[in-house]
Amino acid sequence: MTDLERHSYDVVVIGAGGAGLRAAIEAREQGKRTAIICKSLFGKAHTVMAEGGIAASMGNVNSKDSWQVHFRDTMRGGKFLNLWRMAELHAKEAPQRVWELETWGALFDRTPDGRISQRNFGGHEYPRLAHVGDRTGLELIRTLQQKIVSLQQEDEREFGDPEARLRVFAECTITEILKEDERVAGAFGYWRESGRFIAFDAPAVILATGGIGKSFKVTSNSWEYTGDGHALALKAGGSLVNMEFIQFHPTGMVWPPSVKGILVTESVRGDGGVLKNAGGQRFMFDYVPDVFRDKYAHDEAEGDRWYTDPDNNRRPPELLPRDEVARAINSEVKAGRGSPHGGVFLDVASRLPAETIRKKLPSMYHQFKELAGVDITAEAMEVGPTCHYVMGGVEVEPDTGAAVGVQGLFAAGEVAGGMHGSNRLGGNSLSDLLVFGRRAGLGASQYLDGLDGTRPAIAGADIDQAAAAAVAPFNGDGSENPYTVHTELQMTMNDLVGIIRRSEEMQDALEKLEELKRRAAAVTVEGHRQFNPGWHLALDLDNMLLVSQCVARAALMREESRGGHTREDYPLMSAEWRQVNLICRADGDDVSVTRQPLPSMPDELLQLFEREELNKYMTDDELTVLPEGDA
């Protein structure tokens, strides 16, 4: 190909958010020549929208916190469907990753005695989120970018070239993972500005592409979140795990329509904000599930006391895990007790002084003032559920991030599944991407060290095939527009596979997705490959449709309600279904979903829980095999 740009690296990292940058830093520090592929502008990764903090059991605000408590909270939040090994590694290593950021220049808020400050968040027993106001994700990305620059400066001093071992390819999209036999050989993509094709020869590829939210109409996710990494893994022969679990963050903006879905950080509730319906009632006390009832306040007075005396009071139900709060808001709106624009009210104005709100929540104050004309120091916010995060993702080996079934492919961050089970706790995403970003970078480096000396090679025919697939939208019959198909996809997923699910509606969704796939094959774009948003969307559509099929098929198969998956026709959790992971694989132009046993938790971790709590999640057979005195 005459217009093909080609590069050779040891490791290619697809995605430049927190997981991708931490993976790239680790690979570079292991001596590997590393490329970072950034779909958007460098520094604009979706990680910057994670506002509340980084969950890590440092015990700076409450010395009772520990990795064991963090592990328990994570398993409870995920309704015990988490891959226990990932939850264990995450809880143990998160504090070190936060302290590491501080040594790299992160400027955290401080406690009065100078330690990193930590705040309360939903589902966390103790104040655990290290934070920078409500702009923590931005500080994390700034810090990791600065570390990238410092490593490039080292390479310039050593090699005379700052990009000798670490280079960023910004505004570049990968469309295919290329293999030789069963091993990864590289990746193929294009420059978004020019449309020029680019290929990377590399025996190790790390996926760090984030989530799938742009398949839904109402989402907090930015335009990049089109399921690219999930689809790349499927097409390369990998598998996805538990894609039915979609987190609808309970508090997104609902008004005006132009900003619907934009995130309202959970730290508003962590710092004292409360949820009220149209009648002014704090309704969350009516929605505490039995499995959490003994851990949450039974009345407003106790909930309010908890903020100043957490040792002698239980936390308010506004700080239940996100799935519980989102369902409660949805129920209030359906019952006719919602706000004028279809949400509920989040009130911090009556709870904290205006000066404190502006200090602790500067981004939220600015966001509502500029976008909605609301002064959150004087009036309540209107909020409602918004598609925010996917708990499911690429099936990986916990310790290395290696994708199951594909040699040389790795994944970290939101694109990887297993860590969060059926529901993610707020703040666990930022520590997740740091812990497993590092582990994926290390795992890829160790994989390279173990190769027999021969690097897999990309076949010319595979590049030609990838290029032909990329330009196919220019050769359509003119009958379909990518924007129309995308809009209908978003409506289908939002309305039929959304926060409350029913068998008949998901069957309808699967039929609609098949129709949309046929229409997507006929999508036609005009013009040329130089910056052509219609062409970019046409290519993204292929990924979104493939991943949406996985979500809908898995959601139809799982006949229970758990975490981010709520079935109106199966409203209860099932102890038998807790033992099952649903694995999605590409099957030609279709996808298939199969059951797979969930790995059993070892006894030493089971002993961290009370037997009474395990009774709520596990089968009688599981409980009877526990050694006497355990749990």
Whether omega before 310 lies within 30 degrees of 0, making that bond cis, reads no
Contact 393, 582 (CB under 8 A): no
The CA distances from residue 131 to 22, 214, 423, in Å, are: 18, 27, 22
Contact 342, 384 (CB under 8 A): yes
Cα R_g (the chain), whole angstroms: 24
Contact 530, 195 (CB under 8 A): yes
Give which of 262, 219, 200 is closest to 13, Cα–Cα.
200
Q: How far apart are CA 252 and CA 331, in angstroms?
A: 16
Which residues have C-beta within 8 Å of that of residue 309, sequence separation ≥ 6?
A: none
Helix (H) or strand (E) segment spanning residue 397: none
By CB atoms closer than 10 A (0-12, 13-18, 19+), residue 402 is: buried
Beta bridge partners of 9: none
Cβ neighbours of 110 (radius 10 Å): 11
Pairing status of strand 4-8 against strand 54-55: unpaired
Catalytic-role residue among 90, 249, 322, 438: 249
Q: How far apart are CA 245 and CA 89, in angstroms?
A: 22
Contact 122, 321 (CB under 8 A): yes
Placement of tokens 């029913």 in the chain: 502
What sections of 426-582 are H helices per DSSP? Answer: 428-449, 460-471, 482-496, 503-521, 533-557
Six-digit token pair at 560? 């229970």
Six-digit token pair at 544? 């979104």
**Residue 269 is a catalytic residue:** yes
**Residue 249 is a catalytic residue:** yes
Helices 136-159 & 84-103 angle (0-180, nearest 10) = 70
Catalytic-role residue among 167, 269, 424, 536: 269
Catalytic residues: 249, 269
